[in-house]
Amino acid sequence: MAGRRVVVFPSSAELGPALAHLVLSRAERAISSRGRFSLGLSGGSLVSMLSKELLALPELDCSKWLVGFCDERLVSFDDPESTYGLYKSHLFTKTNIPDSGILTIDSSLPVSECAEDYTRKLKEAFPGEDFPVFDLLLLGMGPDGHTCSLFPNHPLLEETKRIVVPISDSPKPPPQRVTLTFPVVNSARCVTFVSTGGSKAPVLKEVLEGREGPAFPAARVVPTSGELFWLVDDSAAASLTIQVERFSSGAKL
């Protein structure tokens, strides 16, 4: 692993633009090296932050982007719980990303078949790779330490072979979802967590420096050879005692 960087921002207002510039820099690097940029998205508060800040970039060009989802709820795309649906209305329709560059689930399928179908789509998009290697995965973390739809004490935490797995008993509604597995997450060239707000402070401390860290799914994100960023605000970082970076304007991620 290239090393973990924990970067603390005064507030989400400063974090958002830095996140957008990180996405853009990794996109430029990937397109220059491989001709495309593969990005895995998560939902929640990331949707509005990322959409707002990316659309504020005058140089944004998504024509060579391939976008997938770190997890997705098994609901119709017009349901407010649909991560794809939210990104479509907030971001995709306002950029030049081609429809063929967006990998969506088939929400009409039963959850197990949906996971198999999404596995097939990823294998077609990443041919010749045992596990898809995304250029950048953007992750959130719940107050229970979950990330993607990988929840504490769930059997799916131990999955080592499958790319996408179904979950029918999510402790957070809606119960039916599909999610990437840790082998995929840890194969990425860059993984970036975004965590803001005081409600995240206790679990962030445990994940980053606690002896019980591995009990939290987010603590299991340790890229094999890629970068790992934690972008957090002052409120989320309030309990940390480890050495962190304080973000200053103009600094590069």
What is the structure's pLDDT at 193?
98
Q: What is the pLDDT of residues 148-202, one digit of tens each?
A: 999 999 999 999 999 999 999 999 899 999 999 999 999 999 999 999 999 999 9
Q: What is the pLDDT of residues 197-236, one digit of tens each?
A: 999 999 999 999 987 767 899 999 999 999 999 999 999 9
Mean pLDDT for the chain overall: 95
Task: Please answer whether residues 222 and 186 qualify as being in contact, where contact means their C-beta atoms are separated by less than 8 angstroms.
Answer: yes
What is the structure's pLDDT at 2?
59
| DSSP β-ladder status, 37-41 and 136-139 | parallel
What is the spatial distance between Cα 100 and Cα 67, in angstroms, rounded to a whole number?
A: 9
Confidence of residue 252 (pLDDT cuts 50, 70, 90): confident
What letter would DSSP give residue 108?
T
Q: What is the pLDDT of residues 71-82, one digit of tens each?
A: 999 999 999 999
What is the structure's pLDDT at 251?
75
- E-assigned strand segments in the chain: 4-9, 37-41, 65-69, 71-73, 136-139, 164-167, 177-180, 190-195, 227-233, 245-246
Return the domain boundaries, the chain. Answer: 11-186+206-223
Q: What is the pLDDT of residues 109-152, one digit of tens each?
A: 999 999 999 999 999 999 999 999 999 999 999 999 999 999 99
What is the structure's pLDDT at 1?
46
What is the structure's pLDDT at 213?
66
- The CATH architecture one would assign to domain 11-186+206-223 is 3-Layer(aba) Sandwich (3.40)
